[in-house]
Structure 1
C-alpha cells in the first residue's frame, strides 16, 4: 500500500475493521441491554463516533464546504439518481402504511432520517470521494461493498423485523449505496446524495418503526 497516502491507508484499513465491530456490537448490545436501549446506544456510537467523529477527522473540517458544494447546473441524470430512489421507496414502503401512521412516528422518522442520511453520506461517500477523487474503485466500489456489509449488523439485531426480510434490507442498501456512490462521484459532492439519502430514510423509517413497535 506504499502508493497510498497516510489518510488513504487509514481509511482503507480502518473501515472494514469498523464494519466488523458494528456487526458484533449491534446484536451484542441488543441482547445484553434489550432491543430499544441497545439500538439507541449502538446508533449513537455509529453516528457519533464512526460517521461524524471518524468521518470528520479523516475528511478534515476545512474540506467540508467543498464536499457540500451544490452542483452549479442541473443535470438530468444526476437529478434522476437523486430523486428515483425516493420515489421508489415511497411507493414500496411509505404509501402502503399511510393509514396507520401517527404524528409521533412521522416526527421520529424525520429526525432519524436527517441524522442518519447526513451521517452516512459524510462518511461512506464523503470520506472516500475526498481521498480518492480520481479512482472510482476506491471512491465508489470499495465503500459500496462495506456499506452494504455493515447492514448485516442491523439484520442481526435481536427481534428486529424488516419488510421483505434481511435480504431485502441488505439488497436495498446495495442498490441505494450504488446510486448514491455514482451520484457523489459524478458531482464530486455529497450535496445531492445527502438530500436523496434523507428522503429515502424518511420514506423507509416509518415502516421500520411500525413493524418493530
Structure 2
C-alpha cells in the first residue's frame, strides 16, 4: 500500500481508538451534551481532514457529481426505497415519543453528519484506493462500521434495539452506500440518502433520550 493509503488507515484507526475513551468520558459528564460533543470531535478531527487530504486530493471530477450513467438510473429510486424503509421502521413504533425540538435538532445534525460521513468514508477511500478498489471498498466499510462501536459505550443514551442494532444497522447501510458510491464513482446521491436516513434515526434517538 502507498503512504497515503496507510495514512488514511492509521487516521481511521486512531479516531476509533480515541473515541473508545472520549465517548464514555463525555457522556458520563453529560449524556446529551457529551454525545453531541463526541460527534463534533469526530467531524473536526476525522471527517474534515480526510475530506481535505484524501477526498478532494483524489477527486477525478466525478466524486461529487450528480451525473449518473444512463444504466445507473435505478439507483435514485433504490435509495428512496431505502430511506422510506428506515423512516417507517423508526416512526411506526415511536410516534408517541417524537418531539418537535428533537426534529429540529435532528435536521441540523443530519445535514452536517450525512454529507461529511459520505465525503470522508466513501469519498476518502475512493479517492485514495483507486488502484486497489476492492481493498478500499472492504477496508472503508469495515472501519466505518467499527467507528460506531464506541457510540454504544455512551452513558445513559438508549439506542433502539441496543448496541447490536446500532452497529449492525451502520454496517448494513454502510455496505449499501459503499456499493453505490464505488459503482457510480460519486458520493452525491449517497450523501443525500445518508442525510435523510439520519434525520429519522436522530429524531427518534434525540426524542427518546431527551435531547430537546
**TM superposition score normalised by structure 1:** 0.89
Q: In the alignment, what sits opposite 1:52?
A: 48
- C-alpha deviations, 1:112-162, integer Å up to 9, x for none? 111110111111111001111353333321111111111111110001111
1:3-82 to 2 correspondences below 5 Å: 4-31=1-28, 33-60=29-56, 63=59, 66-74=62-70, 75-82=72-79
Offset of residue 107 of structure 1: 1.2
Question: Are the structure 2 counterparts of residues 203 and 65 from structure 1 closer, same or farther at C-alpha, using a change threshold of 3 Å?
Answer: farther
- Comparing 166-175 with 135-144, greater Cα deviation is found at 135-144
Alpha-carbon contact 1:70-1:189 (below 8 Å) kept: yes
Gaps of at least 5 residues in structure 2 are none
- Give me the whole-angstrom Cα distance separating, in 2, the residues matched to 1:54 and 1:211: 32
- C-alpha deviations, 1:9-58, integer Å up to 9, x for none? 21122212221112221112222x22123222211110122101233223
Q: In the alignment, what sits opposite 1:212?
A: 209
Alpha-carbon contact 2:137-2:178 (below 8 Å) kept: yes
Structure having the larger proportion of residues in helix: 1
Which residue among 142, 165, 190 is the counterpart of 2:139? Answer: 142
- Comparing 97-106 with 48-57, greater Cα deviation is found at 97-106
- Give me the whole-angstrom Cα distance separating, in 2, the residues matched to 1:207 and 1:64: 38
- Root mean square deviation of aligned Cα: 2.0
* Secondary structure at the counterpart of residue 69 of structure 1: coil
Alpha-carbon contact 2:57-2:127 (below 8 Å) kept: no
Alpha-carbon contact 2:23-2:34 (below 8 Å) kept: yes
Offset of residue 98 of structure 1: 3.6
How many residue pairs get matched?
Answer: 209
Alpha-carbon contact 1:114-1:198 (below 8 Å) kept: yes
- Give me the whole-angstrom Cα distance separating, in 1, the residues matched to 2:10 and 2:172: 24
Alpha-carbon contact 2:24-2:154 (below 8 Å) kept: yes
Q: In the alignment, what sits opposite 1:152?
A: 149
Alpha-carbon contact 1:93-1:204 (below 8 Å) kept: yes
* Secondary structure at the counterpart of residue 171 of structure 1: helix
Question: Are the structure 2 counterparts of residues 133 and 38 from structure 1 closer, same or farther at C-alpha, using a change threshold of 3 Å?
Answer: same
- Give me the whole-angstrom Cα distance separating, in 2, the residues matched to 1:173 and 1:44: 19
Gaps of at least 5 residues in structure 1 are none
